[in-house]
Amino acid sequence: MRTPIAAANWKMNFGPRQAEQFIAAIREPLGAVSGAEVVLFPPFISLDSAYRAIQGTAIGLGAQNLSEHPGGAFTGETSAIMVAELCRWVIAGHSERRQYYGETDELVRQKTLAALSADLSPIVCVGERLEDREANLAERVITTQIRGSLGGLPAEAIGRVVVAYEPVWAIGTGRAATRQDAEDIAQLIRALVGEQYGQGIADALRILYGGSVTAANVTEFVASPHLDGALVGTASLRPEFVDIARAIAAAKTA
């Protein structure tokens, strides 16, 4: 059985003080959610205060990005080893990084490798743009992203990789994908990972949906046997995230 995941990507929101206050407000009910892994992804500058604020709870912590390099003269960057001092998790290849910072599949693959070598669990994001979907190219784009981002990873570490399917047109738009679309792509992702790493790895792979997830629609997604949780943006900045995490746990323990 795959343990479901409720992941909160705060993006560029909540500095250290706000992070501390927000976690203080939700840590009791959020920490009480059982049956799902709950992970917060604050901005880098807020990781330390978030780390302190979650002490004594089962809430996990992750960074939103990492460097592909192990260390050295890379101003403004953060290595996997540094992330691993505070976190068990990291996001690699979010569509905003791909879109605004030119991250390619090969760079995402290198970041995923770096994360795995530091014993982090990477959430690798893939997703097509609106024009891809309208041109019926969604499956082709996802296939290229999965093959490019997840190729050549060490077999013994691949079990720590989580994939998030986040269609770009659904992110921050209030227009979530349909359950059917998300399921179809999740099945494609599992098949592609199966081709690369074998059926056992594919069956154990956790696949999340992201894109305008709310407490009102999350159950629709996670009721699917093909989806193992959600990567939540906007709604993760509100106490509503507690309801989302509860709904994810409930759908998988029902």
Q: Which residues are catalytic?
A: 94, 166
β-bridge mates for residue 109, sequence order: none
- Which residue from 4, 5, 6, 9 is in contact with ligand 13P, where contact means CB under 6 A? 9
Chain center to CA of 55: 22
Please tell me the distance from the alpha carbon of residue 108 to that of residue 124, in angstroms, as a whole number. Answer: 8
Establish if 213 lies at the interface with ligand 13P (CB under 6 A). yes
Establish if 64 lies at the interface with ligand 13P (CB under 6 A). no
Q: Which residues, 6+ apart, have CB-to-CB distance to 105 below 8 Å?
A: 93, 144, 145, 147, 148, 149
Q: Between residues 177 and 197, which has the closer beta carbon with respect to ligand 13P?
A: 177
Please tell me the distance from the alpha carbon of residue 194 to that of residue 212, in angstroms, as a whole number. Answer: 28
Q: Between residues 176 and 197, which has the closer beta carbon with respect to ligand 13P?
A: 176
Establish if 65 lies at the interface with ligand 13P (CB under 6 A). no
> How many C-alpha atoms does 190 have within 13 Å on its Cβ side?
19
* Amino acid at site 154: P
Which among 179, 105, 89, 173 has a CA at the least distance from the CA of 142? 105
Q: Residue 87 has which token pair? A: 């976190």
- Which residue from 4, 60, 93, 233 is in contact with ligand 13P, where contact means CB under 6 A? 233
Q: What pairing do the DSSP bridges indicate for beta strands 206-210 and 229-232? A: parallel
Please tell me the distance from the alpha carbon of residue 215 to that of residue 222, in angstroms, as a whole number. Answer: 12
* Amino acid at site 194: G
Rg (alpha carbons) of the chain, rounded to whole number: 17
Establish if 166 lies at the interface with ligand 13P (CB under 6 A). yes
Chain center to CA of 169: 17
- Which residue from 46, 65, 149, 212 is in contact with ligand 13P, where contact means CB under 6 A? 212
Q: Between residues 67 and 214, which has the closer beta carbon with respect to ligand 13P?
A: 214
Instruction: Please give the size of the binding site for ligand 13P, defined by CB under 6 A.
Output: 14
Q: Between residues 23 and 231, which has the closer beta carbon with respect to ligand 13P?
A: 231
- Which residue from 43, 122, 211, 229 is in contact with ligand 13P, where contact means CB under 6 A? 211
**Cβ 166 to ligand 13P shortest distance, Å:** 5
Q: Which of the ranges 22-30, 135-143, 150-158, 164-172 carries the binding residues for ligand 13P, by CB under 6 A?
A: 164-172
Establish if 210 lies at the interface with ligand 13P (CB under 6 A). yes
In total, the chain counts a number of residues equal to 254
**Cβ 241 to ligand 13P shortest distance, Å:** 10
Q: Between residues 71 and 172, which has the closer beta carbon with respect to ligand 13P?
A: 172
Q: Which of the ranges 55-63, 97-105, 188-196, 231-239 carries the binding residues for ligand 13P, by CB under 6 A?
A: 231-239
Establish if 172 lies at the interface with ligand 13P (CB under 6 A). yes
Site residues (CB under 6 A) for ligand 13P? 9, 94, 166, 171-172, 210-213, 231-235
